[in-house]
Every structure is written in C-alpha cells, then in structure tokens.
Amino acid sequence: MQRYLLSRLVQSFLLLLGVLIVVFFMIRLTGDPVSLMVPKEAPAEVREAFREANGFNRPLYAQFFEYLLNAFQLDLGHSLKFRQSNLSIIMERLPSTVYLATISLFLAIVIAVPIGIIGGFNPGSAADTVGRAFGLFGQTIPGFVFALYLILIFAVRLGWLPSFGRDFWYSVILPATALSIGGIGQFVRLTRSAVLEIRNEDYIRTARSKGLSKMAIGARHVARNAALALISVVTVQYSYMLGGSIYIESIFAWPGLGNLLQGAIVDRDFPLIQALAIVFSFFVVTLNLLTDVIYAVIDPRIRYGS
Amino acid sequence: MAGTTTPPAVGMEEYVEPTWGSKLAYVWRLLWRDKGGLLGMILFLLMVITAVFAPIIAPHDPLEQNLRDSKLPPAWYEGGNWDYPLGTDRLGKDIFSRIVYGTRVSLTVAVFGVLIAGGLGLLAGLVAGFMGGKVDGAIMAGVNLWLAIPYLVFVVVIASILGRSLFNVILIFGITDSPIFARVTRGEVLRIRQSGYVESAISVGASTSRIMFDHILPNLIGPLITLATFEMSAMIFYEAGLSSWAERAAHWCQLGQHGRSLPSILAKLPWMVIYPGLAIAIASLAMNLLGDWLRDVLDPRLRRSRA
C-alpha cells in the first residue's frame, strides 16, 4: 500500500507541475502578454515600462524558471489591481468558497442518497418514479438557471431570503441549493443503480439465506458497498463545486474565489487569473489524490493488492 | 402463414438488405417503447427546426431595438401584445426572437464543438489504445493533465484571453472537451481488442487496418454517440452561461457595481430571465433524454438493466 500511495503522490506532483506549465503558456497564447494586460490606448512608453517592470522583456526560459521557482516557494505573483500578493488575496476569499462548496456537497448527499436508496430497493414503485424524475430534473437543469429561478421566487417574490452577498447566516441557503442541484441529480442516479446492482450479488443472497433482517442487510452490506461506488463521484463533485461555482458565485455576489475570478477577468488582472487557475487545479489534483488514499484505506482489494 | 412452410435452419435465413423504410420503422419502434427517448427526440427535432428556420419563425431581428416598446411583459399579461409574445428587454429587443436565434447559436456551438472534441479525442484515443506502451502513457498523461484543470475555469480564462467570438467559443469547447472523448475511446479500444471476435480476426490473418476499420471503429460508434449527446447538452448550457455571464460582467463593469443590479432586473423584468432559462433547461432535458435512450439502444448490455 505504501508503494501505491507513494506512486500516487509522485503522479499528483507531476500533474501539478504540468498544470503550472500549461497555465504559464495559456497567458502567453496571444504571443504578447503585455497587450493583454495594458489597454490598447496606452502610449508606447507606458507599455514598455510595464514590460520592464514585470520582466516580460526577458527571454521566455528565464521568465519560466523564475515563475516555477516562485511557485514552489508559494509565491504566485502579484495582482495588478490589488497591488498585493495573489496568494494573500486568494487566502482571504478561500474560506467563503470552501464553506459554500462544503454545505452544497452536504446538502446534495443528505437529499440524494436516501432517495437513491429507496428507489434502488423498490424499483418501479411510485416513490422510485418520483425519485427518478427528481434526479432527472437535478441532472438536467443548469445550475445558473436554477439559481435565477430561486432568486426570483425566494428573494424577489417572497422576500424570504437574501439574493446576494454573505451578510447573514442564511445567505448561504440559496447559493448552496443552486450549487447542489447538479450533484443531487448525479447522486440519486448513482446510488439507485449501485443499490440495484448490489441487491443481486451473491453475498446478499447468502446474507438473506442466513436469515439476516432487511435492515441489517441494508446497513451492513448494501450501504457499505454503495458507499464505495459513491466516494469517487462525491470527490469529483466536490472539486467541481469548488471550481465550478464561478457562475453561481457571480449570480449571488458570493465573496469567494469564483467571484474573484470574474472580477479579475473584468479588470484583465492576468497575474491574478493565472494564480486562480493554479489554485483551482490544485483542488482537483488534491481531491483526486485524496480519493485514491480513501480507496487504499477502505477497499481491501487495493489495500492488499500489489 | 402459420405452419405452411418449414422455417429455415437458424443462421441460414436468406439475408435481406434492410430498406431505409424498415430501418426508420425499427427506430420508431425503439422510440415508441421508451417514452422519455421519444420526448427527447421530439424536443431535439423542434430545436433543429427552430435553428434552421429561425428567420421565418422569429417575428423580429434579435438585435433590433424598439425603445418605444421596451420593457413590455409577455403577451398574456396586461400591457403586453402579440408583436412580442414573450415580452421585450430594456432596449425593446424581442425576447422570443432572441430565444429562437439563440437556439441557432447553441446548436452550432454544440454540434461543431462536439465534432472537434470527438475528432481529436477519437484520434488520440485510437492511437493510445492501439500503440500502447510509451505512446499510450504519454497521451494519457496529457489527458489527465487536461482534466486536472477545471473545465469551466479553463473555458472562462481562455475565452477572456482569445476573445469570445463564435469561432473561438467552438474551438475552446472542442479542444477542452476532447480529453473525455480520448479517455472513453481508449477504454473501448482496449476492451474491444480483448474480445473474442478481434482475436479470431487476428488468428485468421486480418491486417491491422482491417481490424481497426471493420471491427473496432463500428463498435466505437455507440459509446461515442452517447457521450457526444451528453457533451452537447453540457456545451449548450456552458455556452449560455458563458455568454450571459460575460455580458453581465461587462455590464457591471460599466456600472461599477457587482451583483446588486440582478435582483432589480428580476423584480422588474422577470420574463427576461424566466423564458430564456426555460429554453436552456428544455434543450438540456432534450439532450439528456436522447442520451439516455441512445445509451440503452446502442449498448445491448445495458438494455436489460432498464427494462
């Protein structure tokens, strides 16, 4: 197991290195990063001064190695607009995004898993039909459309909940609901099909023939094996919620990283955009690694495998 | 005809080339059996018709401004009229016409985006699955790297660098979405190569190109079409999100305020959001239902699990 984990760790590290390289060249896609960051109307002296100050006049490989060296020292450059280090700005906003994504994930699991389990145990029943329709709705409706409808109903018409910002404890309710809807759809379908599949396994028949109660079989055998199938999807969904909340955060003016990215794009603050792209990718790579670790710990097939 | 002729031995029936009519009838039977798929197909065809005949269907030019008729509600509300069935925005643009022409943009992006993504992914996946070894390792490392950067972040950032023209958006979606196709293609190629019929083909001396084109490619079509349908649905709503998001971002930039203006728009002109949102949701529903149906029909292994 140690060897397996070590190889995963090395892979994740290489992946992060690759991300750093891609992001570096992404900003230089148009050839000249200065033309991206300085308005076209600016006089030539201003452009050249900017080029000089930010080191864009040096050879590409020198820029690249300095960028890598800095990144390894957790220096992700400085924001053009905020005039401070990107990492400190990101760290300031990070808790809001993690808070929103975590609540959304929790909401999705709490709502979707019971629906999926009930459907899986009673396929074809009325409850299953309703559950599947709900799952299809969740999978189908785009999060940002759902977000706008939520605002329209609960903020504008009923006036129950705030539609933007994070000023009250209940401000999180609408954005979290909007962000969780896609996950709900996915989890309902996956839980249902996992339970359906496991129900037909030999070890369930054995358990039943030994006279175990339905509850005992459900809790001990079905739930644990279904959880195994769910974990990888849950972590992928979590990384999606952390990184994919851009639209949702913008709609609700939620003071997190997605909103920061929108502001940075409006202001053409490319050093900050670059840093944000790295941080978002870092979430994905870390969560993938975490998934592998969880599987290594709980799945005996990997635990005892080579 | 019962009992009049002896049926031919199994496998010895005379092979009749199916006509187009009988093929269509077969598809229709498959659709009729799965009402979800039928609904998806009908909605999808409606979308295609709307996109193709947009100039005939739409009562107005989608960019035409009629300041005298601005902020009109939908026709069935007080103050609305049938010149603008779903109302107008603040500049008097007809919402219905904008949805009709928007269908055109959405479908164009989705179709060409998926064609590019599918083409690139198919090529990479075929090479990886066939060559194996170091080539496979290198291609899959690239695919994993691409997938490590969140799709949406990627799209938004590249769009802000290259600009958001229709051509660029298609290209961005096509390229960023290709790793998923590569991964599925490679997985399928590896699976098919293990199968008995490919082994038999190799043992009777079939050439590599023959195995590739006669055995592997036809078996790839099913999973790839299914994937393409779901990816089209994703592209439709990412594109809608991207354009409305970018528009709003630009708008806020002018006003120098963030987010605060949205609730007031929703309070005064809710139809500006309700009906376009509904159109996107319906498009997404259509593609998802169609994808579910195609998956069941094209993959016989899955057919029984949904029966």
Encode pLDDT of A221-245 as tens digits: 777 778 887 888 888 889 888 876 7
For B159, which residue in chain A has the nearest alpha carbon?
A: A265
CA B269, B275, B279 angle in degrees (round to 5)? 155
DSSP assignment of B37-84 equals HHHHHHHHHHHHHHHHTHHHH-SS-TT---GGGTTPPPTTSTT--TTS
Q: Which residues of A touch B253 (CB under 8 A)?
A: 266
Q: Which residues of B touch A277 (CB under 8 A)?
A: 149, 153-154, 157
Task: Using alpha carbons, select from A161, A295, A186, A170 the residue that is nearest to residue A241.
Answer: A186
pLDDT digits (tens, 9 = 90+) for A282-306: 888 888 888 888 887 777 776 665 4
pLDDT in tens, chain B (307 residues): 444 556 555 655 666 777 777 778 877 887 787 788 888 889 999 989 988 888 888 787 777 777 777 777 776 777 777 777 777 777 777 778 888 888 888 888 899 999 999 999 999 998 888 887 888 888 888 888 888 887 778 888 888 787 777 888 888 889 888 999 998 898 888 888 888 888 888 888 888 788 888 888 888 888 888 888 888 988 887 888 777 666 655 544 444 444 456 666 777 777 777 888 888 888 888 888 888 888 777 766 555 444 3
Reply yes or no on domain A92-266 having CATH 3.90.76.10: no
Whole-number pLDDT of residue A127 = 84
- Average confidence score pLDDT of chain A: 82
Residues of chain A with CATH 1.10.3720.10: 92-266
Q: Would you state the structure tokens that stand for residue A33, as one six-digit string?
A: 């990063």
- How far off is chain A from B271, nearest CA to CA, in Å? 10
Q: Is B280 on the interface with A (CB under 8 A)?
A: yes
CB atoms within 10 A of CB B27: 12
Note whether residue B202 is domain-resident.
yes
Whole-number pLDDT of residue A104 = 93
CB A248 within 8 A of CB A89: no
Of B152, B233, B305, the CB nearest to A243: B152
- Identify the CATH number of the domain in which residue B100 sits: 1.10.3720.10
Whole-number pLDDT of residue B306 = 42
For A276, which residue in chain B has the nearest alpha carbon?
A: B153
Q: Would you state the structure tokens that stand for residue B261, as one six-digit string?
A: 């203006």
| Residue B118 belongs to domain spanning | 32-306
CB B238 within 8 A of CB B158: no
Task: Using alpha carbons, select from B172, B123, B171 the residue that is nearest to residue B151.
Answer: B172
Which of B106, B157, B305 to mutate: most A Cβ within 10 Å? B157
Q: Do A148 and B266 touch (CB under 8 A)?
A: yes
Of A26, A139, A145, the CB nearest to B288: A139
Q: Would you state the structure tokens that stand for residue B293, as one six-digit string?
A: 């149906």
Of B161, B260, B280, the CB nearest to A30: B161
Query: What's this model's pTM, rounded to 2 decimal places?
Result: 0.81
Q: How confident is the model at residue A142 (pLDDT cuts 50, 70, 90)?
A: confident
Of A22, A165, A273, the CB nearest to B149: A22
Which of A12, A141, A160 to mutate: most B Cβ within 10 Å? A141
CA A77, A89, B172, B43: dihedral to nearest 10 degrees?
170
Note whether residue B60 is domain-resident.
yes
- How far off is chain B from A62, nearest CA to CA, in Å? 23
- Run of H or E including A153: none
CB atoms within 10 A of CB A87: 18
- Run of H or E including A194: helix A173-199
Of B149, B240, B258, the CB nearest to A281: B149
pLDDT digits (tens, 9 = 90+) for A154-193: 877 777 777 777 777 777 888 889 899 988 988 998 888 8
Q: Which residues of B touch A250 (CB under 8 A)?
A: 245, 248-249, 259
Q: Say how far apart CA A252 and CA B263 lie, in whole Å.
A: 10
CB B294 within 8 A of CB A158: no
Whole-number pLDDT of residue A86 = 81
Q: Is A155 on the interface with B (CB under 8 A)?
A: yes
CB A28 within 8 A of CB A61: no
Q: Is A55 on the interface with B (CB under 8 A)?
A: no
Which of A181, A247, A268, A290 to mutate: most B Cβ within 10 Å? A247
pLDDT digits (tens, 9 = 90+) for A102-129: 999 999 999 998 898 888 888 878 888 8
Which of A15, A262, A289, A290 to mutate: most B Cβ within 10 Å? A262
Q: Is B282 on the interface with A (CB under 8 A)?
A: no
Whether A256 shows a pLDDT value over 60: the answer reads yes
Q: Is B253 on the interface with A (CB under 8 A)?
A: yes
- Run of H or E including A207: helix A202-209
Whole-number pLDDT of residue A245 = 72
Whether A30 shows a pLDDT value over 70: the answer reads no
Whole-number pLDDT of residue B1 = 44
Task: Using alpha carbons, select from B166, B176, B154 the residue that is nearest to residue B101.
Answer: B166
Q: Which residues contact A239 (CB under 8 A, 6 or more apart)?
A: A283, A284, A287, A288, B150
> Of chain A residues 228-287, which have a CB less than 8 A from chain B?
239-240, 243-244, 246-247, 250-253, 259, 261-263, 265-266, 268, 273, 276-277, 280-281, 283-285
Note whether residue B26 is domain-resident.
no
- Run of H or E including A105: helix A86-121
Q: Do A250 and B250 touch (CB under 8 A)?
A: no
